[in-house]
C-alpha cells in the first residue's frame, strides 16, 4: 500500500480525533478544507500528468496516440 | 470558423468566474448556518459530487460535442428540442436583466463606501435614500437616476468584456477571477482578527448532525449546488463549444466545481467572523444578526464596516469591489450565452449581436430601477430560479439521459478526458438528479398553489415564465441555422 492510499484514511482519523479531542467545529473546519483543497490538488495532479501539462495548447491531438489513453489507464488503475 | 479559447486556463477561469457569483457570498454561508452548520458540509459535498459535477460534465460535454450554443446543441439532438436551448438562454437573459441592476447597486455602494455615506441608519439609507422603495409592487413610481447610472455602467462593462468573444473574456477573467479571491481573503483575515469572530465561526461550523435526518436539508444542499454552478443557463454549453477538439472535459468540470465550493466555504469565514463581531458590538446573539441575500450585502455588512476600529472606508471599498468583480463574470457569461445563441441561429456578426443583446438587456433592466424595483426583482427572481431554471435542468437530464443516451455522451467525454467516468454518471443523469429536481419543482409548486410568493400578486411570475416559453418556441421556428 503506497503512502498516497493512506492519505484519505489518515485525514479521516485526524478529523475524528479532532471532533472528540477538541471542539466539533474545529473538526468540521478541517473536514471542509480537506475535501475541497484535496479535491483540487487531485484534479490538478491528474491534469499535469498529461503530455503537454495543464495547458492544452502544447497537448497532442486526442487521437489514439495522444498519450491521453495512457493517463486514463493509469487513473483507471488508481481507482481500481 | 468558430472562435476558440486562447488556453485551457482561460476556459477554466471563465467557467469558474461564471459559477462564482454573489450567491457564493450571500447565499451559501446563510444556507449552511440554517441547515445544520458544519454538518451541512456533508450533504453539500455529496450533492456536489453526485449532481453538481455530473451536470457540469453534461453541459461541457454537450457543448463540446455539438460545437454550438444551447439551442444549436439541442437542435442537433433533434430539431424539436431546440426550444429547450432557447428557454435556457431566455431564462438566463431574464436573470441578467436584474442581476445587472444588483451590480448597479454595487457600483453605487462602491462610490458611497469612500465616504461611508450610508451613515448610522444603514437600513433606512438602503431602502429609503438609495432604492426609494415604494409601499408596494403596485406603486412603481419613477426611475431612480443613480441606479440607472449604475445599470448603464454595468452594461458598458459587460459589453467591453465580451466585445471580442472568448478572446476578450479570456483576458478579462485573468483579473476578475483572482481579484475577488484576493478581496475575499483580505476580508476573511480582517474578519477573523476581530473580537467576537470566533463566536461567529462557531455558529457557522458547529455541526448539528440531527439536521441530516431532515430531507429538507438534503434538498437545500442540492438546490444550493444547482443554483451556484451556473447550470441550466446554457452558459457552460456555449463556453465548452469554444474549446479545441482535444480538450479535457471531466477534469475541467471537477476543477470548476471544487473551486466554486471552496470560494463559498471561505466566504463563510469572512461573513460569519464579521457577524460575530457585529453581534459582540451590538450585544446581540449571532443568530439575531445573521442574514443572507441583499440584506447581508447592503445592510449588515455596511453596519459592520461602520463599527470597524480603523480603515472602515478601505474595507468598504474592498467589499463592494469584491461583489462587483464576483458579479461581472457571472453577468457577462449569461450575456455571452445569449450572444452565442443569436450568432448561431441568425448568422449575425458578433458586433451587432453584442450591441443588440446589451441594449435589450439594459432596457429590460429599467423596470428594476424604479421605486418598486426591489419587489419586482424579488418575484421575478423567485419564479425564474425556482421554476424556470429547475425545469431547464430537468429537461437537460431527460434529453441527454434518455434521448441522446447518457452512455453516448459519457463515452464521448471519456474519449478526450484525463480520467474516465463510470456508469454511476449515467445513474446521476438519468435518475438521481432528475429525481431531486422533480422533488424541488413539486415542492415549490405546492408552496405557490398554497399561497402567492411574498404576498405579491401570483400571476406576475407565471406570466413572465409563460412569455419566455412562448418566445422560446418562436425563436426555435424563425430564422435559420446550420441545423436547418
**B1-15, B55-69, B177-191: lowest mean pLDDT where?**
B1-15
Chains A, B: CB contacts under 8 A, how many?
100
Region B265-274 average pLDDT: 96
The strand pairing partners of B143, in sequence order, are B370
Q: How far apart are CA B252 and CA B57, in angstroms?
A: 8
Q: What radius of gyration do chain A's Cα atoms show?
A: 17
Residue A17 pLDDT exceeds 90? yes
DSSP line for A20-78? HHS-HHHHHHHHHHHHHHHHHHHHHHHHHHSTT-S-GGGSPPSSTTSSHHHHHHHHHHH
Report domain extents, chain B: 8-475
pLDDT at A71: 46
In the structure, what pLDDT confidence band is assigned to residue B459 with cuts at 50, 70 and 90? Answer: confident
pTM of structure = 0.92
pLDDT greater than 50 at residue A67: no
Tens digits of residue pLDDT in B21-66: 999 999 999 999 999 999 999 999 999 999 999 999 999 999 999 9
| DSSP string of B226-268, one letter each residue | HHHTT-SSSHHHHHHHTS-TT--SHHHHHHHHHHHHHHHHHHH
What is the rounded distance in angstroms from the CA atom of residue B220 to the CA atom of residue B109? Answer: 30
Sort B302 into a burial class: Cβ within 10 Å, 0-12 / 13-18 / 19+. Answer: buried
The per-residue pLDDT for B22 is 94
Q: Which of A35, A46, A54 sits opposite B8 (nearest CB)?
A: A54
CB B8 within 8 A of CB A55: yes
Contact (Cβ atoms closer than 8 angstroms) between residue B18 and residue B170: no
Burial of B19 (0-12, 13-18, 19+ CB in 10 A): buried
Residue A53 pLDDT more than 90? no
HSE, side-chain direction, 13 A CA sphere, residue B74: 24
Biggest alpha carbon–alpha carbon distance for chain A: 53
Which of A54-68, B119-133, B329-343 has the weakest average pLDDT? A54-68
Residue B170 host element (H or E): helix B166-176
Report the sign of the C-alpha dihedral through residues B359, B360, B361, B362, in that order. Answer: positive
Instruction: Check: CB of residue B260 under 8 Å from CB of residue B289.
Output: no
> What residues of chain B lie within 8 A of the CB of A40, using their CB?
255, 258-259, 262
Which residue from A23, A43, A60 is facing B255, i.e. has the nearest CB?
A: A43
For chain A, the distance separating the N- and C-terminal CA atoms, rounded to the nearest angstrom, is: 13
Main-chain dihedrals φ then ψ at residue B117, nearest 5 degrees: -65, -15
Helix (H) or strand (E) holding B114: none
CA B205 – CA A27 distance, rounded (Å): 9
- Give the bridge partners for B370, in sequence order: B143
Q: Contact B19/B264 with Cβ under 8 angstroms?
A: no
pLDDT of amino acid B124: 96
- Cβ contact B71:B475 at 8 Å: yes
**Nearest-angstrom CA–CA distance, B91 and B464:** 10
User: Closest to A37 (Cβ–Cβ): which among B204, B262, B418?
Assistant: B262
Contacts of A32 in chain B (CB under 8 A): 38, 41, 205, 265
The span from the CA of B292 to the CA of B22, in Å, is: 11
> How many CA within 13 A on the CB side of residue A65?
0
Give residue B456's pLDDT: 85
Cα B394 → chain centroid: 18
Enumerate chain B positions whose Cβ falls within 8 A of a Cβ in A: 7-9, 37-39, 41, 45, 201-202, 204-207, 244-248, 251, 254-255, 258-259, 261-262, 265, 414-420
State the Cα–Cα distance between residues B90 and B74, nearest whole angstrom. 15
Closest CA to B259 of B167, B356, B173, B358: B173
CATH architecture of structural domain B8-475 = Up-down Bundle (1.20)
Q: How far is B243 from chain A (nearest CA, A)?
A: 10
pLDDT tens-digit profile of A22-36? Answer: 999 999 999 999 999
Distance CA B196, CA A31 (A): 23
Select from B41, B436, B51 the least CA-distant residue to B262: B41
Per DSSP, the three-state class of B32 is helix
Q: ipTM of this model?
A: 0.91
In the block, residue with C-alpha cell 429537461 = B395
Window from B265-269, B391-395, B409-413, B447-451 with minimum mean pLDDT: B447-451
Sign of CA dihedral B76, B77, B82, B84: negative
Contact B343, B481 (CB under 8 A): no
The three-state secondary structure class of B294 is helix
- Cα distance from A1 to chain B (closest Cα, Å)? 22
Amino acid at each position: 500500500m503506497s503512502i498516497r492510499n493512506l492519505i484519505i484514511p489518515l485525514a479521516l482519523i485526524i478529523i475524528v480525533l479532532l471532533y472528540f479531542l477538541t471542539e466539533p467545529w474545529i473538526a468540521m473546519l478541517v473536514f471542509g478544507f480537506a475535501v475541497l483543497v484535496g479535491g483540487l490538488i487531485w484534479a490538478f495532479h491528474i491534469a499535469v500528468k498529461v503530455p503537454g501539462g495543464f495547458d492544452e495548447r502544447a497537448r497532442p491531438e486526442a487521437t489514439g496516440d495522444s498519450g491521453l489513453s495512457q493517463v486514463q489507464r493509469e487513473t483507471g488503475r488508481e481507482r481500481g | 470558423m468558430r472562435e476558440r479559447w486562447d488556453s485551457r486556463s482561460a476556459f477554466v477561469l471563465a467557467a469558474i468566474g461564471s459559477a462564482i457569483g454573489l450567491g457564493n457570498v450571500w447565499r451559501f454561508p446563510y444556507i449552511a448556518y440554517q441547515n445544520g452548520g458544519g454538518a451541512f458540509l456533508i450533504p453539500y459535498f455529496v450533492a456536489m459530487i453526485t449532481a453538481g459535477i455530473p451536470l457540469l460534465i453534461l453541459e461541457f460535454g454537450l457543448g463540446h460535442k455539438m460545437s454550438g450554443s444551447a439551442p444549436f446543441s439541442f437542435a442537433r439532438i433533434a430539431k424539436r428540442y431546440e426550444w429547450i436551448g432557447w428557454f435556457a438562454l431566455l431564462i438566463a437573459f431574464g436573470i441578467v436583466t436584474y442581476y445587472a441592476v444588483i451590480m448597479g447597486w454595487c457600483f453605487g455602494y462602491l462610490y458611497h463606501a469612500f465616504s461611508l455615506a450610508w451613515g448610522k441608519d444603514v437600513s433606512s439609507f438602503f431602502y429609503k435614500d438609495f432604492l426609494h422603495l415604494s409601499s408596494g409592487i403596485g406603486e412603481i413610481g419613477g426611475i431612480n437616476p443613480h441606479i440607472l447610472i449604475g445599470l448603464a455602467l454595468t452594461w458598458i462593462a459587460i459589453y467591453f468584456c465580451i466585445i471580442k468573444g472568448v478572446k476578450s473574456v479570456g483576458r478579462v477573467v485573468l483579473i476578475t477571477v483572482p481579484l475577488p479571491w484576493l478581496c475575499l481573503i483580505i476580508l476573511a483575515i480582517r474578519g477573523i482578527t476581530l473580537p467576537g469572530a470566533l463566536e461567529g465561526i462557531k455558529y457557522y461550523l458547529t455541526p448539528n448532525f440531527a439536521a441530516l435526518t431532515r430531507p429538507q436539508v438534503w434538498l437545500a444542499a442540492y438546490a444550493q449546488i444547482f443554483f451556484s454552478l451556473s447550470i441550466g443557463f446554457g452558459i457552460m454549453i456555449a463556453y465548452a463549444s469554444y474549446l479545441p477538439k482535444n480538450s479535457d472535459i471531466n477534469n475541467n468540470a471537477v476543477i470548476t466545481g471544487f473551486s466554486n465550493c471552496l470560494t463559498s466555504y471561505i466566504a463563510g469565514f469572512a461573513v460569519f467572523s464579521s457577524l460575530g463581531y457585529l453581534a459582540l458590538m451590538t450585544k446581540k446573539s449571532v443568530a439575531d444578526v445573521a442574514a443572507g441575500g441583499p440584506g447581508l450585502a447592503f445592510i449588515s455588512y455596511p453596519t459592520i464596516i461602520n463599527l470597524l476600529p480603523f480603515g472602515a472606508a478601505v474595507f468598504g471599498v474592498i467589499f463592494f469591489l469584491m461583489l462587483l468583480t464576483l458579479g461581472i463574470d457571472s453577468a457577462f457569461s449569461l450575456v455571452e450565452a445569449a450572444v452565442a445563441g443569436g450568432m448561431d441561429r441568425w448568422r449575425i456578426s458578433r458586433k451587432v449581436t453584442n450591441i443588440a443583446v446589451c441594449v435589450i438587456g439594459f432596457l429590460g433592466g429599467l423596470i428594476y430601477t424604479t421605486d418598486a424595483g426591489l419587489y419586482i426583482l424579488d418575484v421575478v427572481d423567485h419564479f425564474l430560479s425556482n421554476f424556470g431554471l429547475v425545469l431547464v435542468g430537468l429537461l437537460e437530464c431527460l434529453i441527454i439521459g434518455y434521448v441522446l443516451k447518457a452512455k453516448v455522451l459519457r463515452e464521448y467525454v471519456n474519449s478526450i478526458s484525463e480520467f474516465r467516468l463510470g456508469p454511476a454518471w449515467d445513474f446521476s443523469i438519468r435518475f438521481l438528479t432528475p429525481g431531486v429536481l422533480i422533488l424541488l419543482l413539486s415542492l415549490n409548486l405546492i408552496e405557490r398553489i398554497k399561497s402567492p410568493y411574498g404576498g405579491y400578486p401570483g400571476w406576475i411570475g407565471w406570466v413572465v415564465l409563460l412569455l419566455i416559453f412562448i418566445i422560446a418556441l418562436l425563436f426555435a421556428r424563425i430564422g435559420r441555422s446550420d441545423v436547418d
